[in-house]
Chain A
Amino acid sequence: MACGTMNAAQRRYMWRFLPAMGVYSVVIVGSGLASRWWHPEGFGLFALALAPALPLLAAIAAIGLYLVEEKDEYLRSRNAIAAIGGLGILLAFTTVWGFLEEGGVVGRFPLWGAFPLWAAGLGVCQGLVHLRDGSGGEA
């Protein structure tokens, strides 16, 4: 999504994704500090615990909307392949980790780590797709 001049769908994606991640950065720090200072209980604790997830849901929605709104079928295909590759990496990692965890070999994998792991896998796969397709320079 980052190569060359951005099209309308890519610009909309950036305008959705980057603010969501900015809000996430603020909320994750803020909810941690608030929990430490106020020691909330009941609904307050529920709300503070849930708060960091909400901007990440917005980030996931931004990725989904990009795939829906991208009119360039080649770019959509590349990014869909990368997203599926990221999902494959996530499934492979959590499957192996789950059995290791079940056997008492490793500790608990935090479920909130699923999205960052998928996003990292997506990034790796975007790089691999870019390498496979070359730079796309004028031939």
Chain B
Amino acid sequence: MNNRLRVLRAERAWSQQDLAERLEVSRQSVNAIETGRYDPSLPLAFKIADLFGLAIEDIFLNPAKEQDQ
């Protein structure tokens, strides 16, 4: 699933490791989510959204809506 995680992380000058530590996951997890190879569970998606102070749909792009565009 496409997402804005890399952009949001870059805006805060966080490395993948920094974000991984804040989310209490591995750096590989952050990399896999950023590159769209892994879709996080709903609890992890909420954790990510809370960390950035955004709604889930502001970070993760709805695949159905992407196809419509």
Question: Could you list which residues of chain A lie within 8 angstroms of chain B, going by C-beta atoms?
Answer: 3-4, 7, 71-75, 77, 133, 136-139
* A74 near B35: Cβ-Cβ < 8 Å: no
Pick from A3, A72, A137, A139: contact of B29, CB under 8 Å: A72
Interface SS majority for chain A: loop
* Shortest CB distance B14–A (Å): 11
CB-nearest residue of chain A to B38: A74
Q: Which of B1-21 contact A (CB under 8 A)?
A: 6, 15-16
CB-nearest residue of chain B to A3: B28
Specify which chain B residues have a CB less than 8 angstroms from the CB of A77 in the assembled complex. Answer: 38
| B side interface size, CB within 8 A | 19
* A71 near B24: Cβ-Cβ < 8 Å: yes
Specify which chain A residues have a CB less than 8 angstroms from the CB of B38 in the assembled complex. Answer: 74, 77
* A72 near B6: Cβ-Cβ < 8 Å: no
* A133 near B37: Cβ-Cβ < 8 Å: yes
* Shortest CB distance B2–A (Å): 14
Known contacts: A73-B40, A73-B41, A73-B44. The answer to whether A139 contacts B35 by CB under 8 A is yes
Specify which chain A residues have a CB less than 8 angstroms from the CB of B6 in the assembled complex. Answer: 139
A77 to B38, CA, bound (A): 9
A4 to B44, CA, bound (A): 22
Q: Which of B22-46 contact A (CB under 8 A)?
A: 24-29, 31-35, 37-38, 40-41, 44
* Shortest CB distance A84–B (Å): 16
* B15 near A138: Cβ-Cβ < 8 Å: yes
CB-nearest residue of chain B to A10: B26
* A74 near B27: Cβ-Cβ < 8 Å: no
* Shortest CB distance A75–B (Å): 6
Given contacts A4-B28, A73-B40, A74-B40, 7 further A-B contacts (CB under 8 A): A4-B26, A4-B27, A72-B29, A74-B26, A133-B32, A138-B16, A139-B34
